[in-house]
Amino acid sequence: MSGYGIDDVPSIDLDEGQVEILSNHNEHQAALMAEALIQVDEHDNVIGPVSKIDAHQGSGSYHRAFSVLLFNSEGKLLLQQRSSDKVTFPNVWANSCCSHPLHSDEELNDTDYVGTKKAAIRKLEQELGIDPSSLHVDDFVFMTKMRYSARMNQDWIERELDHILMLTADVEINPNPNEIATVRWVDYEEMEALLLEEREADEAIAPWFRCIAARIMTEDWWNHHNDRSALLKMNDDLIHDMGDVTHMLPNAEGADLLTSIMEVKPLIEQRIESSLRASRHERLGNAMMHLIEGGGKRMRATLPWLVAKAVGDSHSGLLDIGAAIETVHSFTLVHDDIMDDDEIRRGRNAVHVEYGMPTAINAGDAMLAIAFERLVMAENLEPEDVAPLVNRIAWMVRRVSEGQQMDIEFEERLDVSEENYIEMIEGKTAVMFQICSEIGARISGGSQETIDLMSQWGLALGLCFQLMDDLIDILSDSETLGKPAGSDVAQGKRTLMVIHALDQPDSPAKKRLLNVLGKGEAVTPEGLKDGLAALEELGSIQYARSRAESYHAKAHECLDMLGEGPALVALRELTDFQLARIH
C-alpha cells in the first residue's frame, strides 16, 4: 500500500470498475481508496470492514472517522487546506487532521478510544510529517462524537461517525504536499472570522469542520486546551446528530433520486423492522413484515428527509417519522388489498392470501398502532413538536380512510364526477405526499411560507402520482405491474379515464368499454384489451395524461420558488418520476 511508510495497512481488493474510476485520480490518493475502513451503524457499533471507495462512493455508508484539533502552547489551532490531489473534498479548509482508523486489531481497540488515537498518530505523521515518537495516545483527549453526511457531488460523499480528539503539543510539522496544500495557525477570533466570511469555492470550509467549530466546540475548549483534567470534565459519550450538511459546501452538487433515497432507505427499513419485529407473536410479526419484505421504493418514507435537506436542517428524527409513515402506508395497502380482493402485491401474495383474512386485518390494525409508537419516539424532536406532529399524521390517516371509502362507494355509482374523483385521490393518495412534505419542511425549521409551499408541492406531486398510477395500470404489462394490467377497469374503478369516457356521447367505443367495466373475472383477456383500446379511442387516456401533466407543472412551479440547492436535484427527479415511466 503506497502512501504510508508501512506494509501492513489492511486493504480490500477493488473491482475493475472501481479501478477504472480511480484511474483519473492521483495515483497515491487512488491507492489509499483500497484501505479497509471500519463500517459502523448510526450508534458507532462496528459492522465490519469496508473499502474506502465503497464508504465514499455513490450513497456511501457510515464509517468511523476522527478529527484532530491540534493546538500549540500559545492556544492557536492548526488548520489545513486539503490538497487538490484528494479524491474527495479537495482544496477545502479543515481541522488539523481528519481521517479514518482502519479495520485492524490495533485501530479497532475501543478502550478509551486507543484505536482512534493510534490512527491519529499514524495520520499526523503521514499528512503533517509529525514524528510519531513525539506523541503518545495519552496526549490526546477524546471530547465527543458526531454523525453527519456531506455530499461533494453525484459520485462522492462523506458519511462519518466522527471521533473528535484534542491535542496540545509544540511539534515540528512538515506537510505532505500530496495531502495538504498549506496550513495556518489561528486563534479563537480568527477562526470565528473564517466561519463568517464569504469564501471562494476552492477555499471553502469543510462541512465537518464547520459543524465542529460552529455547533460543538465551545470557547471553553480553547480556554482549557492545555488542561487535560478540565477537558475531561467537558467531554461526553454523546453522538451529535448533524444530519446532512451538504448545503454547507458552496460548490456541492446533489445526487440523483435513487442515490439520495439509498442514502437513508436502509436506515428507515431497519427502524421499520425493529418496530414490527418487536411483536411478541411471531406470526403477527411475520404478517406485518410481509409487504415490507416484498420491497418498495420507499418514496413516502424518505420524503421528509429529502424535503428537509432541501429547505433546512435534517436529523435522524426525520428517518423515524419516515418509518412511521411507511408503516401507515403499508397498513393501508394490507387493508386495500382485502377490500379490492387483490391477490398480488409487489409480485407476491397479498397478506390476506399468505396469512388469511383475520390475521391480515389484525396485522393492519397493529401496524397503525406501531406507527404512532415509532412517531412519538422519534429522535431530536422538541417536546412541543410531538403533539402537532401526531395530529397531522392522524389527520392524514383519517383523510386516507375517507378517500378509500369514497373509492369503495364509487364502484357502485355511475354518476361520479371529475371533482368527486379528485377529492377521492386527494385523500387516498395525495395527502400522504402532502403531509410527508409538510412535515419535512416543518421539522427542518422552515418558515411558514416554506412549509405551505412544500405542502402544495406534495399535494400536486401526489395528485400527479395517482393519475399516472391509473395510466400505468392501463399502459403497462402485468409482469411490470405485479398484478393484472387493466384490473382497475375490470373491477369497475372510477378512474379519471373512466369518468371522462362515461361523460362522452354514446358510441360503439363507449359500448365496448361498458362491456368490460366492472365485470371482474368474467372479462376475458381479449375483452379487457378491447375495452382498454376503447378508452384510447374516446380520448380518455390522453385527457388523464394532460391532467397529470398540469399537476406535474404545478409541482415544478413550487420547487422553482425554493431557489437552487444540491438537494433540489432529487426533488425535481421525484417530481418527474411517474411521468417518466410512460414516456
The range of the structural domain enclosing residue 390 comes to 257-581
Q: Write phi, then psi, for 344 (nearest 5 degrees).
A: -120, 135
pLDDT for 58: 97
> How is residue 57 annotated by DSSP?
B
Beta carbons within 10 angstroms of residue 470's beta carbon: 23
Q: Are residues 299 and 412 in the same domain?
A: yes
Based on the number of CB atoms within 10 Å of its own CB, is 152 exposed (0-12), middle (13-18) or buried (19 or more)? buried
| SS3 state of residue 561 | coil
Q: Are residues 213 and 270 in the same domain?
A: no
Q: Are residues 198 and 339 in the same domain?
A: no
Q: Are residues 94 and 233 in the same domain?
A: yes
Asked which of 248, 276, 304 is the last residue of a domain, the reply is 248
> How is residue 199 annotated by DSSP?
-
pLDDT for 581: 67
Structural domains counted in the chain: 2
Cell numbers that stand for 192 in this block:
470565528
Q: Write phi, then psi, for 51 (nearest 5 degrees).
A: -65, 150
Q: Is the pTM above the cut of 0.85?
A: yes
Q: Are residues 482 and 557 in the same domain?
A: yes
Asked which of 248, 265, 299 is the last residue of a domain, the reply is 248
Report if residue 124 sits inside a domain: yes
- pLDDT per residue, tens digit, the chain (583 aa), is 344 554 578 999 999 999 999 999 999 999 999 999 999 999 999 999 999 999 999 999 999 999 999 999 999 999 999 999 999 999 999 999 999 999 999 999 999 999 999 999 999 999 999 999 999 999 999 999 999 999 999 999 999 999 999 999 999 999 999 999 999 999 999 999 999 998 888 899 999 999 999 999 999 999 999 999 999 999 999 999 999 999 999 999 999 999 999 999 999 999 999 999 998 899 999 999 999 999 888 999 999 999 999 999 999 999 999 999 999 999 999 999 999 888 888 889 999 999 999 999 999 999 999 999 999 999 999 888 999 999 999 999 999 999 999 988 887 777 899 999 999 999 999 999 999 999 999 999 999 999 999 999 999 999 999 999 899 888 876 555 555 667 788 888 889 999 999 999 999 999 999 998 888 888 888 888 898 999 999 999 999 999 999 999 999 999 999 988 999 999 999 999 978 766 5
Q: Are residues 243 and 278 in the same domain?
A: no
Q: Are residues 348 and 207 in the same domain?
A: no
Q: Are 19 and 53 in contact, with CB atoms under 8 Å apart?
A: no
pLDDT for 36: 98
Report if residue 142 sits inside a domain: yes
HSE (side-chain half, CA atoms, 13 Å) at 177 = 0
Q: Which residues have a Cβ under 8 Å from the Cβ of 455 and sit 6 or more positions away?
A: 434, 437, 438, 441
Report if residue 9 sits inside a domain: no
pLDDT for 519: 87
Q: Are 3 and 126 in contact, with CB atoms under 8 Å apart?
A: yes
Detail the DSSP E strand segments found in 72-152: 77-82, 93-94, 97-99, 140-151
| SS3 state of residue 217 | coil
CATH number of the CATH domain containing 290: 1.10.600.10
Q: Are residues 215 and 282 in the same domain?
A: no
Asked which of 248, 276, 311 is the last residue of a domain, the reply is 248
Q: Are residues 169 and 266 in the same domain?
A: no
Report if residue 10 sits inside a domain: no
pLDDT for 480: 54
| SS3 state of residue 349 | strand
- Continuous segment of H or E residues that includes residue 385: helix 383-410
Report if residue 267 sits inside a domain: yes
Report if residue 8 sits inside a domain: no
Q: Are 255 and 150 in contact, with CB atoms under 8 Å apart?
A: no
∠ CA 376-380-386, nearest 5°, is: 35
* CA 328 vs CA 306, 397, 529: distances in Å: 19, 8, 34
Report if residue 3 sits inside a domain: no
Report if residue 354 sits inside a domain: yes
Cell numbers that stand for 565 in this block:
440547492
pLDDT for 329: 94
CATH number of the CATH domain containing 107: 3.90.79.10
* Closest to 15 measured CA to CA, from 62, 57, 47: 57
Q: Are residues 357 and 445 in the same domain?
A: yes
Q: Are residues 214 and 281 in the same domain?
A: no
pLDDT for 140: 98
Q: Are residues 573 and 433 in the same domain?
A: yes
| SS3 state of residue 4 | coil
